[in-house]
Amino acid sequence: MAKSTATTGTSGRRRLALVLLFSAASLCLVGVGYAGYLAWTSWRALNTVLAPAGPRAQGQAATGQGWESRGRINLLLMGLDRRPADGRIPARTDTMIVLSVDPYGKTASMLSIPRDLYVPVQMVRVGSRCQADWDRINTAMVHGETCGYPGGGAAQARDTVQATFDLPIHYTVVVDFAGFQRIIDTMGGVEIVLDELLFDPEFPTPDGGTMSVFLPTGQQRLNGEKALWYARSRFQRADYGRMHHQQKLLLAMRDQAMRLNLIPRLPELVRELGSTVTTDIPLEAALNLGRLLSAIPPDQIVGKAVEGDLVSSATTPGGAAVLLLNKTKASALVRGLFYDARLREEGATVALVNSSQRTGLASQAVAYLQAHGFEQITTESTNGTTRRDTVIIDHSGKPYTAGLAAGLLGLPTDRIKVQRNGPTATDIEIILGTDAPELN
């Protein structure tokens, strides 16, 4: 009996911690996560080291042992377009938001992704076959479930976002509309100021029909149903307006949860979550993120959307209207939004030498490191010699930059050499040997 109670308690605490991590169209109640932290502040997990998932995330895990020594932690928040009659049928992601937290710089960023973005997906069901193909990004979840993608639909959605934006995604959180509404109602609604009225004569209903919805301008207290209207409606400003509504609602939910004493409601919140939220976030990490998010000032939370000149309209071979990503401009946005505060603070200059004799490796390495926030990189020619071991030389005392580079290249820490030879033109020198990994 004792064993059963302990298991239930841990499961309940884990579900509670998840409340902190979902978005306006999903469930990002970071303030409730803070309440969870207060309730269990004596729990030893508060300084647990994260174990990021996915190949691009490994470099960020190799840069230190304390929580504040980590690079950014990125979560993909997804709201499912699942209706009561659908049961557990795989559903498209009506909402996709990357929430990024910088433990060192004490900042957070959000990036909303339009559901009609047309991207390569590793496994797409075409008739009776599953194959790599292009499709809307919001279908990655469904294809992943129906095609048996390793890790399921959430894993394919994560990997698709990673590949599209060259951005490491460490964890995923998924919620459906019913769960979102119940959490809002359990909070007693959410207060928000509407700058413009909301009118939608074709708002989708759970039974597949439509209804007319209206919200006036000014300060409102929205219950779960009305909050869903605000988060989902595309009638007036299409998907772009909806993405901004979701981020605004997210911040309003955070502010309200921070103001309220939610600890007496914790058991009720845990019950309300039930099976409507799924995630791969360990409990320790969720509680740590709750503590961290609660300490970030509102003016240090930045929200952006993939819109404007970052996308262009296109038509698929089948005649569907979609959006194509401008990779160059999107990469610039991602680097500016999800920058590594410690990397930027050190401001190291990096020289890269290709001693592997593998043609093109230097340019691959430059692009790879730039995608992970390295800004000042040059390449240097070799004397024609071939080196087996890849090494990193720290000339000027920039340990974080050297450690991050080692992690991204999959190198042990003993490959970092400290050589102080007085003032040098380059802070960090990376010499690529024949053992250097492919960096596609």
**Structure token digits, residue 242:** 């909806």
Q: What is the DSSP string of 81-118?
A: ---GGGTT----EEEEEEEEEETTTTEEEEEE--TTBE
- Inside any domain, residue 437: no
Q: Where are the beta strands (DSSP E) in 273-359?
A: 277-279, 301-305, 311-315, 321-325, 350-354
Q: What is the CATH number of the domain that holds 24?
A: 3.40.630.190
Single out the residue in 302, 337, 372 at which a domain terminates.
337
In terms of pLDDT, which residue wins out, 10 or 303? 303
- Residue 6 falls within a domain, yes or no? no
Residue 4 lies in a domain: no
Q: Are 157 and 78 in contact (CB under 8 A)?
A: yes
Q: Is residue 263 included in any domain, yes or no? A: yes
Residues 262 and 394 in one domain: no
- Chain mean position to CA 173: 9
- Specify whether 317 is located in the same domain as 364: no
> Residue 365, class by beta-carbon neighbours within 10 Å (0-12 exposed, 13-18 middle, 19+ buried)?
buried
345 with 298, same domain: the answer is: no
* Predicted confidence band of residue 421 (pLDDT cuts 50, 70, 90): confident
62 lies in the same domain as 176 = yes
Are 402 and 283 contained in the same domain?
no
Dump pLDDT digits (tens) for 141-199: 999 999 999 999 999 999 999 999 988 899 998 877 777 787 788 778 889 999 888 89
For residue 403, being part of any structural domain is answered with: yes
Q: Do 33 and 61 belong to one domain?
A: yes
Mean pLDDT of 398-406: 93
Asked if residue 255 and residue 204 are part of one domain, the reply reads yes
- The better pLDDT of the pair 62, 392 is held by 392
Residues 208-220: tens digit of each pLDDT: 788 999 999 999 8
Choosing from 285, 313, 337, the residue where a domain stops is 337
Please report whether residue 82 resides in a domain: yes
pLDDT tens, residue by residue, 235-245: 666 666 777 88
In this predicted structure, the answer to whether residue 310 has a pLDDT above a threshold of 90 is yes
Which residues lie below 8 Å from residue 372, measured CB to CB, with a gap of 6+?
Answer: 56, 59, 168, 340, 404, 408
Is residue 8's pLDDT more than 60? Answer: no
Per residue in 344-383, pLDDT (tens digit) is 999 999 999 999 989 889 999 998 898 788 989 999 877 7
- The CATH number of residue 405's host domain is 3.30.70.2390
pLDDT at 393: 95
- Examine the domain organization and report whether 180 and 312 are in the same domain: yes
Q: Is 247 within a domain? A: yes
If you search the block for the tokens 């914790």, which residue do you land on? 266
Residue 439 forms part of a structural domain: no
Q: Are strands 93-102 and 277-279 parallel, antiparallel or unpaired?
A: unpaired
Give the pLDDT band (50/70/90) at residue 4.
Answer: very low
Residues 229 and 363 in one domain: no
Condensed to tens digits (0 to 9), the pLDDT of residues 26-72 reads 333 333 333 333 333 222 222 322 333 333 333 333 233 355 556 78
pLDDT mean across residues, the chain: 78
- Among 90-99, 266-275, 360-369, 373-382, the least confident range: 266-275
Number of domains in the chain: 2
**Predicted local confidence at residue 38, as pLDDT:** 31
Q: Are residues 301 and 353 in the same domain?
A: no
Domain of 26 in residue numbering reads as 11-337
The Cα angle at residue 135 between residues 131 and 138, in degrees rounded to 5: 115
Task: Tell me which of 315, 337, 359 is where a domain ends.
Answer: 337
State pTM to two decimals. 0.73
Beta strand 428-432 pairing with 391-394: antiparallel
pLDDT at position 439 over 90: no
Is the per-residue pLDDT at 417 higher than 80? yes
Whether residues 56 and 170 share a domain: the answer is yes
- Are 325 and 383 in a shared domain? no
